[in-house]
Structure 1
Amino acid sequence: MKKLAMLAAMVLFGTPLVVLAGNDVVANAAQASVTQDDIETLVKSLSPEGRTRLAADPAAMDRLVHSTLEQKAVLAEAKAKGWDTQPQVQAAIEAARREVIVRTYLASVNAPPSDYPSDADLEAAYNEHQNAFAVPRALHLAQIYIAVPPNADQATLDKAGKQAAHLAELARSGAKAGTSGGTKNNDFASLAKANSQDKASADRGGDMGFVPETMLLPAVRDAANALTPGQVSAPVRTQTGFHVLKLIDTRPAGVRPFAEVKEQLRTLLRAQRTQQNVQAYLTKLAGNAPINEDALKKALAAVQ
Structure 2
Amino acid sequence: MSIDIARTAIFVSMVAAGALVATPMVGAQTPSQTSAAPAQFKPKPAPVAPAVRAQSGASAKPAEEVVAHLGSTEITARELRAYIDALGPREQAAFAKEPALFGQLVRAILGERLVLDEALAKKWDQSPSVAAQLQQTRDRALVELYLQSVSAPPAGYPSDEELQKTYDGNRSLFVVPRQFQVGHIFIAAPKDADRVAEEKAKRKLEEVQRKLKTAGADFAAIARAETDAKDNGELGWISEGQIRPEIRTQVMGLGKGAVSEPIRLDDGWHLVKLLDTKASYTRSLAEAREPLAQQMRMERSNLLRRAYVAELLKQHPPVINEIALSNLLDGALKH
Flag whether TM exceeds 0.5 (same fold). yes
SS at the partner of 1:117? coil
Aligned 8 A contact 1:139 1:250 in 2? yes
**C-alpha distance in 1, partners of 2:212/2:289?**
42
Q: How many residues align?
A: 221
**Structure 1 residues 132-171: Cα deviation after superposition (integer angstroms, max 9, x where no partner):** 1123222221111223458432322332233233223312
| Counterpart selection for 1:165 from 206, 223, 241 | 206
* Aligned: 1:196 with 2:200: no
1:112: which partner in 2?
153
**C-alpha distance in 1, partners of 2:180/2:275?**
8
Query: Larger relative CO (CA 8 A, sep 6+): 1 or 2?
Result: 2
**Structure 1 residues 78-132: Cα deviation after superposition (integer angstroms, max 9, x where no partner):** x9xxxx9998887667655544443343223312133322333322221210111
* Aligned: 1:289 with 2:316: yes
SS at the partner of 1:12? coil
Equivalent residue runs for 1:171-186 within 5 Å = 171-173=212-214, 177-178=215-216, 186=217
Q: Among the aligned pairs, what percent are the same residue?
A: 31
Amino acid in structure 1 at the alignment position of 2:205: A
**C-alpha distance in 2, partners of 1:139/1:244?**
15
Name stretches of at least 5 consecutive residues in structure 1 with no aligned partner: 15-21, 23-43, 49-78, 179-185
CA deviation after TM superposition for structure 1 residue 274, in Å:
0.6
Aligned 8 A contact 2:190 2:266 in 1? no
RMSD over aligned CA atoms reads: 3.6
| Counterpart selection for 2:184 from 124, 128, 143 | 143
Greater helix proportion = 1
**Structure 1 residues 260-296: Cα deviation after superposition (integer angstroms, max 9, x where no partner):** 3221111111110110110121122224433435x34
Name stretches of at least 5 consecutive residues in structure 2 with no aligned partner: 8-14, 19-67, 69-89, 95-118, 120-124
2:271: which partner in 1?
244
| Counterpart selection for 1:298 from 296, 309, 324 | 324
**C-alpha distance in 2, partners of 1:214/1:141?**
14
1:127: which partner in 2?
168
Aligned 8 A contact 2:179 2:240 in 1? yes
Amino acid in structure 2 at the alignment position of 1:298: A
C-alpha change, 1:287 and 1:269, in structure 2 (3 Å) is same
